[in-house]
Every structure is written in structure tokens, then in C-alpha cells.
Amino acid sequence: MNRRAGRRVAIFASVVVACATSFVAAPPRASASVTTHTPVMGPSLLTASQLAHWYSNHHGSTQPRIPVLNNNVAALAQVFIDEGTREGVRGDMAFVQSMLETGWLGFIGSQIPPDAYNYAGIYAYDGRSGLPNCANGDSVPSRCMGTP
């Protein structure tokens, strides 16, 4: 893992821990066999409403750009929770990671446009040109996902 990726993982982990401790009762004291690793697989600990509240308190002045959901952050958070439940992945953690990938849903300076519904930076890599929108398609491999 390169330094940039390591820093992003560290930021992501600290944000998830901060969110979880803000909304979830403190867990019982850890025994010696418990690790400090935060599981990515499993049910979400936070609700869509809690994630939207966290977003509104921490995103700064960036306006969310989620066209198909009328820029409704709670609706997007619910998509993450629902899809995470179907796949056995913590949707709350995936939502928080998407804030890093999308610049808090602002997509400012990103090669991925808001209408790509690509909240993970899939197929975005150094040296690839930006995409103004997905209306006219994208080159292969496409960064346009079609729906949130």
C-alpha cells in the first residue's frame, strides 16, 4: 500500500470510529483476545439518518451533487445501507469511504462526474482524463455506473 492509500485508510478508519462512537453506546470493555481491527463485513452500525446528520455536521461548504436523488444525502445513505445489507458489507463504512472518494459528494476536480453514480472511484486512475458527464458514455473501462 502506498503512503497516499495508507493515509486515506487511516482517515477513513478514524471517521468511522468517530461516527460510531457518536451514535452507538460504548461497547463492553475489551478482553485480551479482541483486536483493534474494525470489521468491514457485517451489518451497519449507523442508520441512514445518522449518516446524513454526520455529513451535514462535517462536510463544510460543499453542496452534495446527487442528481437522481435530488441531492438528498439521507436517500444516498439509505442506498448504501440497503446494498450493504444485501452484500454483507457495512454500508455505513462504505458511505464514509465514499466521502473521501467524492470530495464530500462535490466531485470538484474529479475525473468522475456526479451522474456517474460512482462513489468509489472505480476505474479512476492517475493520468486518465476527466469526464464531464455520462450522458454521452465513457471509454472502456467505464466509470459510469448507471444508478446509485
Q: State CA 115 to chain mean position distance.
A: 16
Residue 119 domain flag? yes
Residue 30 domain flag? no
Range of the domain at 122: 1-24+44-148
Residue 38 domain flag? no
Residue-by-residue DSSP string for 36-79: SPPPSBS--SS-HHHHHHHHHHHSTTPPP--GGGTT-HHHHHHH
For the chain, which residues score pLDDT lower than 70?
1-36, 60
C-alpha cell at 66: 446527487
Residue 35 domain flag? no
Residue 36 domain flag? no
C-alpha cell at 3: 503512503
Residue 34 domain flag? no
* pLDDT of 35: 59
Q: How many domains does the chain have?
A: 1
pTM to 2 decimal places:
0.72
pLDDT in tens, 29-69: 545 565 567 889 999 999 999 999 999 998 767 789 999 99
